[in-house]
Amino acid sequence: MSSETVLSVHDLKLYYRTRKGIVKALDDVNFDLKKEDVLAVVGESGCGKSTLARALVRVLPRNIHTYEGEIILNGRNVMDLDEETFRREIRWRKISIVFQGAMNSFNPVYRIGYQVAEPLIIHDHVEKKKAIEKARQLMELMGMPSAFAERYPFELSGGMKQRAAIAMALITNPEIVILDEPTSALDVLTQANIINLLKRIKNEFRLSYIFITHDLGLASELANRVAVIYAGKMVELSSADVFYTEPKHPYSKGLLLSVPTLRTDRKPEFISGAPPSLIDPPSGCKFHPRCRFAWSKCSAEEPAMFKVGEDHFVRCWLYGDGR
Amino acid sequence: MSSDGKLLELEDLKKWFEIRRGFLSSKVYYVKAVDGVTFSLDEGKAVSLVGESGSGKTTLGKTIIRLYEPNGGRILFQGKDVTHIKANDLKWYRRMTGLVQQDPFGAFASHFTIFRSLEEPLLIHNAVESKEKRAERVFKVLEEVRLTPVEDFAYKYPHMLSGGQLQRVAIARAIILEPKLIIADEPVSMLDASVRIEILTLLRRLQERLRLSVIYITHDLATTRFFSEWALIMYAGHVMEKASTQEVLRNPLHPYTKALLTATPDPNPENRNRFKEVPPGEPPALVNPPICCRFSPRCPLAFDKCFKEEPPEFEATSGHWVKCWLYERS
């Protein structure tokens, strides 16, 4: 694996303005993504996983309060680009996304082939016929009969629509694909087939993925790096090999212990309590009210990301200075 | 109660949905959602119904508690035939059974407090006479599902609770009439991983404490092992395999069960370096399905007979049944 960094995110913040107050949906997010890396972003619902995906491709709602930080793509800070340049040069050209439930967002009145080809027609001004031909080839590569290009969305099964959504994300040859729960509505066998497909095309196209999921088992199918998000903050960033064998953050440990397994006899345990409100989060470490190891410092002061090993960072006082 | 401790017995249970195609057409088709299910459940035990979407597991659950009327076969509850009961008998049966559905956010009337939602079954069934006694009962079940302090939760509205808390209320509502059987239809699939285990642990504890029988409907094999004694694997309206949960997970026999086990990922960083051998394709349509093994088009081990004849359930080892021609004794 080469070590070329394709994406580097520094201090990314995204706050929403709501009637009840400011929601700090993402706060101080930092990570690097290398060529052919798969970074799994895991956490419970409402922790900011999908917000991160949206922030990276700048698909944002209107009630933005703060949107700042650096998103450096191949050495260029794309936060400086205006909307039009970002649309023309970055979104779908460099970073594309398979949204959660993408398979249900096809337009019912257009043929699948045309919809898969649409980014080419719009971004590259490719002639419609040629674009559809390309879509057809790509769909075949995704394990769909190319005749399916002539079909309408309702004529395809969930698994086939998801393959089409992936083809649509790949048609402009992006470097990074964000997968936001790409298999969450699919059956177990179909899910395994899609994961096999994602593995294959990653190698074939030399892609990097940001894989957003709440399922740690599924994450391990693709990821070589894992980022755990809790209440809008990254709390652990590590290689998958280290994360799955020795997670450091108490939240990461709890999450891993809560996964029921088929192949071991370990009984799953749960983390008591619930994630905090992002409008009025607890003081200090946001996890301290649920943490077994919390002491006075945890509620008083928010920990920084401490380096605990090679490319391994943890936001927890247990690993902080003076401990 | 029948003497052998069996609470529920299903004999060749069928639920077909009728559809008509074309205007004025007299041709009738059937979606054979549940097509011949036989099993029995002891008092105080839990069985997992495992299957993918469209396998008929939800239809089976709803047919068991008679939200649907079966088209064939029999349901015996405490030895009594409840297959086609009506009116007061059905009302009694409803009282003996409870249902927890998948979506806790859609399970409650938004203008009812939790107290009112829990009081509703008591009022409908006229189960408790006085207002004070009803309140007592509501607080008792809230305590049972560990929503404490109960006074805090009782007067909240559904939108003020989290998904996990609402699912506890749904469980409280299902047990408030002191039923014998609970159907939990994907009770945790909309919840976060850490909350899932909390809810399943609670269900398990109630099952043991109140001697409830539980039918746990799920698509996730991994959760069955700690939360049920028995497992039924369903595919396209048929039960493909049934045995104790431990036996199904340790010694799966049906090619479909084996594929499900292979496809279910455990957290393990080595997963990313290998591809999974899973059968391609999708489950068949259930409109007039062919009379053969319904898994045969996807089965890697299928041979001639599989495409021609539907296999019966063979008892491969004691108590372990499998609907597959591979296990026919010659």
pLDDT tens readout for residues A262-294: 988 889 999 988 888 888 889 999 999 999 999
Q: How many whole angstroms separate alpha carbon B21 and alpha carbon B33?
A: 18
Q: What are the residues whose beta carbons fall under 8 Å from the beta carbon of B28, sequence distance 6 or more?
A: B18, B19, B20
Among candidate residues A154, A173, A192, the one where a domain is terminated: A173
- pLDDT range class, residue A1, cuts 50, 70, 90: very low
The greatest distance separating any two alpha carbons of chain B, rounded to the nearest whole angstrom, comes to 68
Q: What dihedral angle (degrees, nearest 10) is formed by the CA atoms of B204, B208, B211, B215?
A: 20
- pLDDT range class, residue B194, cuts 50, 70, 90: confident
Residue A42 resides in a domain? yes
- Residue A80: per-residue pLDDT: 94
A262/B53 CB distance under 8 A? no
Residue B66 resides in a domain? yes
Q: Does A18 touch chain B (CB under 8 A)?
A: no
Q: Does A214 touch chain B (CB under 8 A)?
A: yes
- Among A187, A214, A220, select the one facing B272 at the smallest CB separation: A220
Question: How many structural domains are present in chain B?
Answer: 1
Residues A193, A88 within the same domain:
yes
State the angle between helix axes of A158-170 and A128-141 in degrees (0 to 180), rounded to the nearest 10. Answer: 120
A10: which strand partners?
A70
Total residue count of chain B as it appears in this document: 330
Q: What are the residues whose beta carbons fall under 8 Å from the beta carbon of A237, sequence distance 6 or more?
A: A30, A31, A225, A226, A227, A228, A305, A311, A312, A313
Residue A275 resides in a domain? yes
- Residue B291: per-residue pLDDT: 86
Residue A28 resides in a domain? yes
A12: which strand partners?
A29
Tokens of A294: 């919390």
Residues A81, A181 within the same domain:
yes
Residue type, A75: G
Tens-digit pLDDT profile for residues A111-121: 999 999 999 99
Q: What are the residues whose beta carbons fall under 8 Å from the beta carbon of B305, sequence distance 6 or more?
A: B325
B264/A243 CB distance under 8 A? no
**CA neighbor of B166 nearest in space, from B96, B109, B90:** B109
Residue B273 resides in a domain? no
- pLDDT range class, residue B2, cuts 50, 70, 90: very low
Q: How many whole angstroms separate alpha carbon B268 and alpha carbon A216?
A: 9
Residue B134 resides in a domain? yes
- What domain range includes position A165? 106-173
A264/B259 CB distance under 8 A? no
Residue A2 pLDDT > 70: no
- Among A188, A199, A271, select the one facing B194 at the smallest CB separation: A271
Residue A215 resides in a domain? yes
Comparison of pLDDT for A81 and B291, the residue scoring more: A81
Strands (DSSP E) along B143-211, which ranges?
181-185
Q: How many whole angstroms separate alpha carbon A197 and alpha carbon A166?
A: 10
Comparison of pLDDT for B232 and B287, the residue scoring more: B232
Residues A185, A121 within the same domain:
no
Q: From the CB of residue B284, how many other CB atoms can be counted at a distance below 10 Å?
A: 17
Q: Does A223 touch chain B (CB under 8 A)?
A: yes
- Residue B110: per-residue pLDDT: 94
Chain A, chain B: beta-carbon pairs less than 8 Å apart: 123
A293 by DSSP, 3-state: which?
coil
A244/B267 CB distance under 8 A? yes
Q: What dihedral angle (degrees, nearest 10) is formed by the CA atoms of B270, B274, B278, B280?
A: 140
Tens-digit pLDDT profile for residues A160-215: 999 999 999 999 999 999 999 998 878 889 999 999 999 999 999 999 999 999 99
Q: Which residues of chain A have a CB within 8 Å of the CB of B255?
A: none
- Residue B209: per-residue pLDDT: 93
Residues A189, A64 within the same domain:
yes
Averaged confidence pLDDT in chain A: 92
- Residue B145: per-residue pLDDT: 94
- Among B53, B264, B279, select the one facing A262 at the smallest CB separation: B264
Residue A278 resides in a domain? yes
Residue A33 pLDDT > 80: yes
Residue B23 pLDDT > 80: no
Residue type, B24: L
Residues A16, A143 within the same domain:
no
Residue B170 resides in a domain? yes
Give the mean model confidence (pLDDT) for residues B292-299.
93
Q: What are the residues whose beta carbons fall under 8 Å from the beta carbon of B82, sequence distance 6 or more?
A: B66, B75, B76, B89, B93
Among candidate residues A145, A173, A201, the one where a domain is terminated: A173
- Residue B19: per-residue pLDDT: 85
The number of CA neighbours under 13 Å toward the Cβ of A314 is 21
Residues belonging to chain B with any Cβ–Cβ distance to chain A shorter than 8 Å = 52-53, 162, 164, 192-198, 201, 219-223, 225-226, 249, 259-269, 271-272, 275-276, 278-280, 282-283
CATH number, domain at B176? 3.40.50.300
CATH number, domain at A282? 3.40.50.300
**CA neighbor of B185 nearest in space, from B84, B68, B70, B104:** B104
- pLDDT range class, residue B330, cuts 50, 70, 90: low
Residues A112, A151 within the same domain:
yes
- Among A44, A187, A217, select the one facing B52 at the smallest CB separation: A187
B53/A272 CB distance under 8 A? no
Question: How many structural domains are present in chain A?
Answer: 2
Give the mean model confidence (pLDDT) for residues B286-311.
91
Tens-digit pLDDT profile for residues A56-66: 999 998 999 99
Residues A219, A232 within the same domain:
yes
Residue A133 resides in a domain? yes
Q: How many whole angstroms separate alpha carbon B252 and alpha carbon B247?
A: 7
Averaged confidence pLDDT in chain B: 92
Residue B54 pLDDT > 90: no
- Substitution target in B192, B204, B219 with the highest count of A β-carbons within 10 Å is B192
- What domain range includes position B18? 6-264+283-327
Residue B1 pLDDT > 70: no
Give the mean model confidence (pLDDT) for residues B121-136.
92
Tens-digit pLDDT profile for residues A141-154: 998 998 999 999 99
| Complete DSSP assignment for A207-262 | -EEEEEES-HHHHHHH-SEEEEEETTEEEEEEEHHHHHH---SHHHHHHHHTS--S
Residue A101 resides in a domain? no
Q: How many whole angstroms separate alpha carbon A314 and alpha carbon A248?
A: 7
- Among B53, B221, B271, select the one facing A187 at the smallest CB separation: B53
Q: Lowest-pLDDT range, A92-106, A285-299, B231-245, B293-307?
A: A92-106
Residue B202 pLDDT > 90: yes
Residues A145, A200 within the same domain:
no
- Among A45, A241, A267, select the one facing B226 at the smallest CB separation: A267
Residue B276 resides in a domain? no
Among candidate residues A121, A154, A173, the one where a domain is terminated: A173
Residue A99 resides in a domain? no
Tokens of B37: 């299910």
Tens-digit pLDDT profile for residues B63-92: 999 999 999 999 999 999 999 999 999 999
